[in-house]
Amino acid sequence: MAQAALSPRFIDVETYLAEELASDIRHEYVAGQVYAMTGASVAHNLIGLNLATLLRMHLRGGPCRVFMSDLKLRLRLGADDIFYYPDLMVACQADDRAEYWREQPCLVVEIASPSTARIDRREKLWACQQIATLEDYLLVEQDRRALTLFSRGAGWRPQTLDEADTLHLASVGLDIAVADIYEGVDVSE
């Protein structure tokens, strides 16, 4: 989902969290600045649902939980607090149970659009690489059938996959046909 900057006023974390609970619109928070999140396309929604379903079925009965775009990811980088709304994330740590966010995911997924791709590939990727528990950061394109996987085990080097490939998520021990992620999705929508 795209971000739109609000007025450039600094707000503290407590104010952000209180305002976010009362807001009809989701906002990401980066070091005192707040960014409104825009709506998602049909392709974005279907890709997220397909991937969440595959992950949920695989992880059922275990300690890991799959979260969709309404739960925040909290990062503390130096003196900065950051709250993102990943399109999907998986968290498995028993001590990571805040009501409105997770801090220790093993997998973060962003479904990139032309308006978010640059932020997803640079800022969010770098920030998420600082999470000690993160093993995989996955970028899923919504305007073409292609993925880019960044894995800790591969030194965060990008692995590009297309519809004929199989995605291996070491973080959750799952292999997924890329075609299954795009099932029922018209990338032109």
Residues 42-70: tens digit of each pLDDT: 999 999 999 999 999 999 999 999 999 88
Average pLDDT of the residues in 173-180 = 97
Pairing of strands 3-5, 33-37: antiparallel
Q: How many whole angstroms separate alpha carbon 6 and alpha carbon 34?
A: 6
Q: Which pLDDT score is estimated for 31?
A: 87
Indicate the pLDDT class of residue 8, thresholds 50, 70 and 90. low
Give me the domains of the chain, ranges plus CATH numbers. Answer: 40-72+84-181 (3.90.1570.10)
Assess whether pLDDT exceeds 80 at residue 9: no
Q: Which pLDDT score is estimated for 6?
A: 45
Assess whether pLDDT exceeds 70 at residue 4: no
Q: Is 164 in contact with 178 (CB distance < 8 Å)? A: yes
What's the whole-number average pLDDT of the chain? Answer: 91
Nearest to 149 by CA among 131, 132, 135, 130: 135
pLDDT in tens, 112-162: 987 788 888 899 999 999 999 999 999 999 999 999 999 999 999 999 999
Q: How many whole angstroms separate alpha carbon 38 and alpha carbon 31?
A: 20
Matching residue, tokens 């998602």 = 40
Assess whether pLDDT exceeds 60 at residue 5: no
Q: How many whole angstroms separate alpha carbon 122 and alpha carbon 65?
A: 26
Q: Which residues pair with 55 in a beta bridge?
A: none
Average pLDDT of the residues in 24-52 = 88
Nearest to 84 by CA among 73, 99, 76: 73
Assess whether pLDDT exceeds 90 at residue 1: no
Nearest to 182 by CA among 147, 131, 136: 147
Q: How far is CA 24 from CA 36, 37, 88, in A?
A: 11, 11, 20
Percent of the chain scored above 90 by pLDDT? Answer: 71
- Greatest mean pLDDT among 3-7, 116-120, 168-172, 184-188 lies in 168-172
- Rounded to 5°, the CA angle 184-106-79 comes to 120
Average pLDDT of the residues in 93-111 = 96
pTM, whole model, 2 decimals?
A: 0.90
Q: How far is CA 136 from CA 4, 8, 29, 36, 109, in A?
A: 27, 32, 22, 26, 8
